[in-house]
Amino acid sequence: MGPTRQAYLLLLVALACSASLLILSTNYPWYPSALAGVQWVGPVNRPHLEHSLLFNLPQSEGNRSEQVEDGEESATDRCTPVRHFAFVKTHKCASDTLAVHLMRIVEERGLEMVTPVGEWNLHWPSAPGDFYRSRKPSGRFDATALHMMYHRRTWSQFMEPDTRYFGVLREPLAQFKSYFNYFGLWRRMNEKHGVPVSDTFDTFLNNPKPYLEVRGWQNPMAVDFGFVNGETKFAEFLQTIVEEMDLMLISDYFDESMLLLRHEFCWPMSDVIYKTKNVAKVYRYGEKEIPPDVRKAQESRYAEFAKMDHALFKHFNATFWQKIQKIPRFHEELTQYRSVLAQTSEFCQKNPDENSAVTIQGTELHESILLDRELCQGLSRGIFQHIKLIQSRYNQTSPKYGKVFPAT
């Protein structure tokens, strides 16, 4: 091949790469600068992703699904589906949607789940407790999906040995704004300290100390993973979570997260069909959406206040995209997945009867999917309906643990 032809081919390759990056920059503006040098990179236009990782830690294990060439069987055809899983349910990270989704799988597969004796809480924010004993001969559980303070040594005593542990994170400021609204921090500041409701969030960010009445108000995502503000060492904690979590999803990219979960857990696409739950349309203390310059100022102040949450997010946001990069034809599959979600939503909105059913044709990237009334009913249940359904397996005399799971 002559020099002229080689130069021409190199130019074509460069143009193709530029076009790909342009598409990615449109679809994934939050792709982190921490992955500079990786081929699949789009420009960053979000301030909370403009800094490198806070701690230089070894990267998590890569995607357990190996890459395959086009035309070969998919990775999920060659792996073993995960049956034992433990979900660390972080507050205000789309975790209700994930929990409901996981409980549907628990019901369909007859799995033994850590089930609360009370309405829904597994003694959070204290040590795990208040749940029924497993009915399995091993005395262990297949799954957990509800709010329960994470502590690996404790959890490993009642979960199966081959359990896969995973969680979900959200861009820290967005998570805290939702947390601030949901737990009524604005109300406490207004009633106890006389701060006008519309000023509560900015007042808090300007000087949080006078209002720190609950330990979970600072670094709330890290607290769900067992972090204790003022006591736990930052680097050690992050190192521990990196080592102990098999997977971390990012709720800001929920569809991508569900597809990543499918590949990591070797589940069929029908197992990652979901319906969004418990999303606040408005915040009672102020506007949910704010101008970019106001958000940038809030991000800067919140980053100083919640350093541990930012460290978690920045590290796992980077590894999230590294895992996705290893999945062949991911964008093509994502398009098909969103089509499946749309078709499912359209079918279920028609309130199908027991004789109604539609099959979504399978492709090279996913199996055929049956849409029927049972699936729609499972998707329509709220979190409390799912809990009550699973609680119906037990009765008043069923063995249970008290306020604290006994350590051994």
Output DSSP code: residue 148: -
Tokens of 345: 């939503």
One-letter amino acid for residue 54 of the chain: L
For residue 215, the model assigns a pLDDT of 61
pLDDT at 120: 77
Tens-digit pLDDT string for the chain (408 aa): 555 545 544 444 444 444 444 434 444 444 444 333 333 222 222 222 222 222 233 333 333 333 333 333 444 557 899 999 999 999 999 999 999 999 999 999 999 999 999 887 798 888 899 999 999 999 999 999 999 999 999 999 999 999 999 999 999 999 999 999 999 999 999 999 999 999 999 999 999 998 887 666 899 999 999 999 989 999 999 999 999 999 999 999 999 999 999 999 999 999 999 998 877 767 878 877 788 888 999 999 999 999 999 999 999 999 999 999 999 999 999 999 999 999 999 999 998 888 889 999 999 999 999 999 999 999 999 999 999 999 999 998 999 988 777 643
The sign of the CA dihedral 254, 259, 262, 267 is: positive
**Three-state SS for 347?**
helix
Q: Which residue has the tokens 């070894």?
A: 58
CA–CA separation, 78 vs 179, rounded Å? 41
pLDDT number for residue 396: 84
Q: Which two tokens stand for residue 331?
A: 């964008």
What is the per-residue pLDDT for 349?
92
Residue reference for tokens 């979504």: 360
Contact of 84 with 163, CB cutoff 8 Å:
yes
pTM of this structure: 0.81
The pair of three-digit structure tokens given for residue 122, joined into one six-digit string: 């597994």
Q: Residue 263: exposed, middle, or buried by beta-carbon count in 10 A (0-12, 13-18, 19+)?
A: buried
Cis peptide before 125 (omega within 30 of 0): yes
> Strand 143-144 to strand 85-88: parallel, antiparallel, or no bridges (unpaired)?
parallel
Residue 250, CA distances (Å) to 34, 332, 343 in order: 16, 20, 24
Rounded CA gap, 29 and 253, in Å?
A: 11
Are 372 and 356 spatial neighbours (Cβ–Cβ below 8 Å)? yes
Q: What is the pLDDT of residue 251?
A: 97
Tell me what pLDDT residue 282 has. 78
Torsion of CA 32, 253, 159, 179, to 10 degrees: 90
Q: What is the pLDDT of residue 24?
A: 40
Q: Which residues make Cβ contacts (< 8 Å) with residue 357, sequence separation at least 6?
A: 370, 371, 372, 373
d(CA 403, CA 408): 16
pLDDT at 222: 97
Instruction: Find the length of the chain.
Output: 408
DSSP alpha helices (H): ranges in 95-193? 95-109, 152-158, 172-182, 185-193
Which pLDDT score is estimated for 406?
A: 65
